[in-house]
Amino acid sequence: MKNILVLGGGMVGGAIIRDLAKDNAVKVIDRDKKIIDSFSDLKTVKTIPGDVTDSSFLKEYSSDTDIIVSAVPGFLGFKTLKNIIALGKNVVDISFFSEDPFELDELAIKNNVTAVVDCGIAPGMSNIILGWHNKLMGIKSFECLVGGLPFKRSWPFQYKAPFSPIDVIEEYTRPARIVQNGKVIVKPALSGLELVDIPTVGTLEAFNTDGLRTLLKTMKIPEMKEKTLRYPGHTEYMKMLRETGFFGSKEINVNGKMIAPLELTSKLLFPLWKLEKDEEEFTVLKIIISGKEENKEVRYEYNLFDQFDSNTKTSSMARSTGYTCTAVVRQVLNNNFTRKGICPPEYVGTEDNCYSMIMEELKSKGIIYSVIKEEIK
């Protein structure tokens, strides 16, 4: 039994904790008492109320751990990861911060740390799949479409945030980097709108988001893009809020009081975007990889449709994100993945057997990626 420290016990963090606690001793640090109390039924879990950004506090409670999982919101992610690496602890991170993780590569190598970043579904599992295929074929194009949505469509947004809402808003404001003709092109967030048909779901809209992240540095593929999926109409509402300044972070004067528009918008939106208790939702992922394999032009298509688990009361986004993370944690703990430095998930996908073992572990939990391969004539 290994000792694992998890930072953050929210929706996805909670799924990670409960899965790892099946065969490990797990400590959890979170400042929210309600979250801490939610793990009282788990005998192998020790809860610690506290601030994960306090480096001395983190050092005290990580001394006997074999690996740390960072499941904090994106705005805390980079600083938290840096603190973990400074302690010389291996880490798997799902915080999806905006900073460049490779800025910490030298520190991680110096401290002999394996730091797997962006380890969710997309980025995360999409990178693992791409890394596996990049090892076996010459890839010409990569496209990833991903989204998490409630089954119940409610006006006006037809959306609920299955993870940190503030991170969702950043998807609507951060410019999206894609690759065209081998060059990185920057597109506005919410651009490139198109309608796509998703099996078992129907028609959704897809728009550019900045999800390629580390792939922009690690993969030499001529065409790459990532898009987020929503119900039709959602994008137009988000564009309206963005263009009229509701997502602005710069404070403005309102009747003598200084306030950032985003603070007000968050207060109004987040209650509307909160999933109800045990609300059923789903996650969809489509990956298309095209290129040359064994002197033949081929096309691979991966599809995932996962939904709320009514038995365990676990959301699909927590399952598809969290269980990818825990599968990689086990690869690191079992010394199947030992590369040092900053390691995006595509590095994990290139390691012998890691791809197949992660796929098998996810399959055992009912997260099944269907694969279609066809020759391109």
Q: What domains are there in the chain, each with its CATH number?
A: 2-122+317-368 (3.40.50.720), 126-307 (3.30.360.10)
Q: Are 293 and 137 in contact (CB under 8 A)?
A: yes
If you search the block for the tokens 């990889």, which residue do you land on?
289
How does the average pLDDT of the chain come out, rounded? Answer: 94
280-306 per-residue burial string, b: 16 or more CB within 10 A, e: under 16? ebbbbbbbebbbebeeeebbbebbbbb
The helix (run of H) or strand (run of E) holding residue 217 is helix 215-218
Q: How far is 205 from 189, CA to CA, in rounded Å?
A: 14
DSSP 8-state symbol, 275: P
Q: How far is 352 from 360, CA to CA, in rounded Å?
A: 14
DSSP 8-state symbol, 73: -
Q: What is the average per-residue pLDDT within 230-239?
A: 95
Q: How far is 48 from 62, CA to CA, in rounded Å?
A: 11
User: For residue 164, is pLDDT > 70?
Assistant: no
> pLDDT, tens digit, for every residue of 78-128?
999 999 999 999 999 999 898 999 999 999 999 999 999 999 999 999 999
If you search the block for the tokens 């602005």, which residue do you land on?
248
Residue 210's closest CA among 188, 193, 243? 188
If you search the block for the tokens 């951060």, which residue do you land on?
174
Q: How far is 234 from 206, CA to CA, in rounded Å?
A: 10
Counting DSSP H helices and E strands in the chain, the numbers are 13, 18
Which pLDDT belongs to residue 185?
97
**What distance lies between CA 130 and its chain's CA centroid?**
15
236 C-beta neighbours (distance < 10 Å), count:
11
CA distances 147 to 90, 178, 283, 346, Å, are 29, 18, 6, 20
User: For residue 162, is pLDDT > 70?
Assistant: no
Helix (H, G, I), strand (E, B) or coil at 274: coil
> pLDDT, tens digit, for every residue of 280-326?
999 999 999 999 999 999 999 999 999 999 999 999 999 999 999 99
CA terminus-to-terminus distance, the chain: 52
57 C-beta neighbours (distance < 10 Å), count:
15
